Amino acid sequence: MEVKGSHEDKSVVSFHSKDFINLQCSRRDLTAAGRYQYFMGTIIDAAEPLVMVKDANEIFSDNKITCIFVLGGPGSGKGTQCEKIVEHFGFTHLSTGDLLKAEMESNSENGTTIRNMRKEGKIVPSEVTIKLLQRAMQESGNNKFLIDGFPRNEENRAAFENIMNIQPDFVFFFKCSEEERKRRILNRNQGRDDDNIDTILKRFKVYEESTLPIIEYYRSKGKICEIDAERPVEEVFEVIYRQLVERMREGTDVEVCRKEEKAV
């Protein structure tokens, strides 16, 4: 474990586990999350910076890939929450929308296809998106991925499962009304070429027609973790945080965790 020093209200601690996991948290974060008493394999006393009793590596085995899909309509807050998850949990965040945009801007052979599809709010063929995802996953050196905005249709889903042979551990579904999403996108103000009302309405239609059935598919498999994304950012994150901690704990030896909790 490496303690990166303490300054004012922030005690920053990071630990690396066989190059796979790189977690960071601050005293403020831990205090906010204090009621959970548990942070990525670590029992936490919120009054103290950090008491480490267990290696994070015991939570995720080295060979296992953890893959969480993050789905929800355009503007539901996927990117916003993924950034926060990364801050706290050491995932690699792969936004397929961002990967495609970067590919478009690099003037690659697929650039024109991507530009045209984005303008129409259409879904880029899987072979392009999966190639970008594959590269980014390999380059990350991580084994925990938050895949944001993918799969967006049946073709995406089937191709990912067949080519990558990876099933998501579970799928976050951000539920948020169209009215609120439209309001957010029109205020997003990031200079996105597709954040104009014409393209927004096309994206909403494609989402309803092509992505909602994928969410129902994962629901039928018991993999959907539905989040009320209509609420303020911090409230949404609080729910996500709790879900992640619980789900990770379920994947580990609960008996050991309970014993250690009692010891705190």
Ligand X SMILES: Nc1ncnc2c1ncn2[C@@H]1O[C@H](COP(=O)(O)OP(=O)(O)O)[C@@H](O)[C@H]1O
Ligand Y SMILES: Nc1ccn([C@H]2C[C@H](O)[C@@H](COP(=O)(O)OP(=O)(O)O)O2)c(=O)n1
Contact residues toward ligand X (CB under 6 A) are 72, 74-80, 184, 187-188, 232-233, 236
Cis peptide before 232 (omega within 30 of 0): no
Determine if 152 is a binding residue for ligand Y (CB under 6 A).
yes
For the bound state, the minimum distance from the C-beta of residue 242 to ligand Y, rounded and expressed in Å, comes to 24
8: left (phi over 0), alpha (psi -120 to 50) or beta: left
CB of 85 to ligand Y, least distance (A): 16
Residue 152 interacts, among ligand Y, ligand X, none and using kind-specific CB cut-offs from 5 to 8 Å, with ligand Y
- Give the binding range for ligand Y (CB under 6 A) out of 20-28, 36-44, 116-124, 254-262: 116-124
Alpha-carbon distance 94 to 91, whole Å? 9
Q: Measured from the CB of residue 52, what is the shortest distance to ligand X in angstroms?
A: 32
Select 83 or 154, whichever has its Cβ closest to ligand X. 83
> Which residues does residue 225 pair with via DSSP β-bridges, in sequence order?
172
Binding-site residue ranges for a ribonucleoside 5'-phosphate: 122-124, 149-152, 192, 203
The single residue among 29, 67, 203, 227 that binds ligand Y, judged by CB under 6 A, is: 203
User: Taking CB under 6 A as the rule, does residue 124 contact ligand Y?
Assistant: yes
Name which of 149 and 168 has its Cβ closer to ligand Y.
149
Number of residues that bind ligand Y (CB under 6 A): 17
* Residue 17 in contact with ligand Y, rule: CB under 6 A: no
Quote the CA–CA distance of 96 and 91 in Å, as a whole number.
Answer: 15
Contact predicate 227/236, CB 8 Å: yes
Pick from 108, 145, 150, 158: nearest CA to 129: 150
C-alpha dihedral sign at 105, 108, 114, 119 = positive
First to last CA, the chain: 20
170-175 vs 66-72, strand pairing mode: parallel
Judged by the rule CB under 6 A, the positions of this chain that interact with ligand Y are 74-75, 96-97, 100, 117-118, 121, 123-124, 129, 149-150, 152, 156, 194, 203
